Amino acid sequence: MVRNKDKKDEPPFTFPKTLEEFEYTFNEHGQLRHIKTGEPFVFNAREDLHRWNQKRYEALGEIITQYVYELLEKKCNMTKAFLPVDATEDEPTSFIYQSPDALSNPSKLLVLIQGSGVVRAGQWARRLIINQDLDSGTQIPFITRAMEEGYGVMVLNPNENYLEVEKLVKSSPLPSPAEPLDEPAEKRERKDDKEGKKKREFYEKYRNPQKETETERIPIRENGSSEEHVLYVWDHFVSKAAAKNVFIMAHSYGGLSFVELMNQREMQVKNRVCAVALTDSAHNIWLQETSKGTQDWMQQHCCNWVSSSEPLDTPLDPMLPDCPRVSAGTERHELTSWMSFTSIFRFFSEVLEAKEDEEAEETSNTVTTRSSSLKNKHQDL
């Protein structure tokens, strides 16, 4: 047991609200650096205070989220569209970002879907933004390149699923019969002992541990999960867009949400989507019970860039009969999107070119057939 005189007060969980107050800034290479020392971000700002360091990191992460939103608005000229589209004044809302021509571009629309976790619209990985740079960790290079190539762009926000509010302090109720009281008593005791020991160790370490605010989550209607959000945005935005060719890029859990969309809207997706680029996708066609038609379509229209030690674009064995898998040229899951950047745009261009060639051939065949039938008709006269 730690003697009282060795104990320290845990500092309060109050952190700066801006990058400047944190004394960090992004340099010209998009790297986060300390204003005074020029050093990268240091997680262990205080030794032996892991919980405090983690809370500080999370506070910086919240600032990064707002910073990326600002970049989407100022650098990429994107605007928010709020969801649900018919939200009342007092219900929680979420939003997506759209380029000015997202709904009106007659030719191409790119839809970006991130993975799960703390990341919000415009981010692939918070860890990369903080420890590497903005290019690798955000979707901004994809948005900029897409706009240069004439795409409208939609940036989804699949992890913004609820509003977190402070819980009102109430006397703790007795466990309801719905709670799992049917587990063996000794198992319950072991669990209680374990939790009690963890609490004791923590409270023994600090003389004054900080109490965390208790919160509750109010789900956002029809957007309470990544899968719900992707379906909602398809129904209310993507399906209403003018673009003849829709392209989707999804990372990690975003791939699972895309496959769920296919399960729910198979024919619509097949009719509208030209190609899908996945990066280290978390989907599973068997667990998600996809149809044979979806699997066959994915074989033809999807490509999954996965973490691998093989060079970029090296074909890899398909693990399941769905989409082709190629190497992303990195073994780091969170880097797969950035490392595949050039290959993904090449893939989209090639698919579109092949589709346009096919359509041109069909048109010319139709014209030839029509003119020869007119010729025959004329000869008959």
Whether the link from the prior residue into 84 is cis, omega within 30° of 0, is yes
Residue 53 Cα distances to 10, 15, 59, 312, 340, angstroms: 11, 11, 10, 36, 33
User: Is residue 203 within 8 Å of 209, Cβ to Cβ?
Assistant: yes
Q: How many residues does the chain have?
A: 381
User: Is residue 250 within 8 Å of 323, Cβ to Cβ?
Assistant: no
CA atoms within 13 A on the CB side of 81: 21
Residue 294 Cα distances to 13, 291, 311, angstroms: 49, 5, 29
| Other Cβ atoms within 10 Å of 141 Cβ, number | 15
The one-letter code for the residue type at 72 is L
List strand residue ranges (DSSP E) for the chain, in order. Answer: 8-9, 24-26, 32-34, 79-83, 94-98, 108-113, 151-155, 162-166, 206-208, 215-219, 245-251, 273-279, 302-306, 315-316, 325-327
Residue 243 Cα distances to 36, 106, 115, 239, 351, angstroms: 48, 4, 25, 9, 16
| Distance in angstroms (rounded) separating the CA atoms of residues 94 and 69 | 13
For the chain, the 3-state helix, strand and coil shares in percent, each to the nearest 5, are 45, 20, 40
The residues that are catalytic are 252
The one-letter code for the residue type at 376 is N
| Distance in angstroms (rounded) separating the CA atoms of residues 193 and 380 | 96
Radius of gyration of the chain (CA): 26
